[in-house]
Amino acid sequence: GAGVSQSPSNKVTEKGKDVELRCDPISGHTALYWYRQSLGQGLEFLIYFQGNSAPDKSGLPSDRFSAERTGGSVSTLTIQRTQQEDSAVYLCASSYAGGTKRLYGYTFGSGTRLTVV
Amino acid sequence: QKEVEQDPGPLSVPEGAIVSLNCTYSNSAFQYFMWYRQYSRKGPELLMYTYSSGNKEDGRFTAQVDKSSKYISLFIRDSQPSDSATYLCASGGSQGNLIFGKGTKLSVKP
């Protein structure tokens, strides 16, 4: 596609439920990133996939968070047993050959606005 | 100390003013410096991309990086109401991910 596509755009869930957020990156972009944006907190790095390498999970805030990337393309971020503090905008970005010889600029999706009630 | 620090503002200027946005960073290994613009309820979009020190100009926008002082700046000349947005600075090395500042909310009044 022409841009990074994220779904759903909005998600309201009850505390304790699991949610799955989807990201479809730009075709040909080998790097994929998940960030979380909370009011007043800026963009918080969560996880990064580069090609076939093991993902960098260093930003995941707890073991309730996990992500996978299938076939080097679509990625799913899963949050288990959601808590109210998980409410935020979850942004996905992709880039060309990130984390190798050069750091390229990211193209972001519009995000998924998650509200845990 | 966070790796990238940015004054969140908000910053309000009249139309036509010169806007100066600034960040500092702490990691000497950072070589890539970017500015993103984010409109309300949208994802950030890449505005300026700089490698190492120096200036880069694109239309009304100028990005400056001073690695000796670890200081990043974005200047907007002849600011327009359409420039009203949140501006995020970001830095990183050749390995890994970008580290973002918290963003500065800019409002340009007609």
State the number of CA atoms in the 13 A half-sphere of B103 facing the CB: 23
CB B72 within 8 A of CB B87: no
Q: Identify from A103, A108, A112, A114 which residue to disrupt to test chain B contact, counting B C-beta atoms within 10 A and taking the largest count.
A: A103
Write down the pLDDT at residue A72. Answer: 77
Of B42, B26, B41, B22, residue with least CA distance to B102: B22
CA distance B15 to A10: 34
Residue B14: band (very low, low, confident or very high) from pLDDT cuts 50, 70, 90? very high
Q: What is the pLDDT of residues B49-106, one digit of tens each?
A: 998 888 999 999 999 999 999 999 999 999 999 999 999 999 998 777 899 999 999 9
**C-beta of residue B32 within 8 angstroms of C-beta of residue B92:** yes
DSSP secondary structure letter of residue B83: G
Q: Does B9 touch chain A (CB under 8 A)?
A: no
Average pLDDT over residues A20-38: 94
Q: What is the pLDDT of residue B108?
A: 98
- Are the Cβ atoms of A105 and B46 closer than 8 angstroms? yes
**Which residues on chain B are in Cβ contact (under 8 Å) with A42?**
6, 88, 100-103
With an 8 Å Cβ cutoff, are B41 and A41 in contact? Answer: no
User: How far is the C-alpha of A105 from the C-alpha of B91, rounded, in Å?
Assistant: 10
From the list B34, B94, B98, which residue is nearest A102 (CB)? B94
Alpha helices in chain A (DSSP H): none
Q: How far is B37 from chain A (nearest CA, A)?
A: 11
User: Are B43 and A4 in contact (CB < 8 Å)?
Assistant: yes
**Is residue A56 less than 8 Å (CB to CB) from chain B?**
yes
| % of residues, chain A, pLDDT over 70 | 95
Contact A40 B8 (CB under 8 A): yes
Residue A113: closest C-alpha in chain B: B41
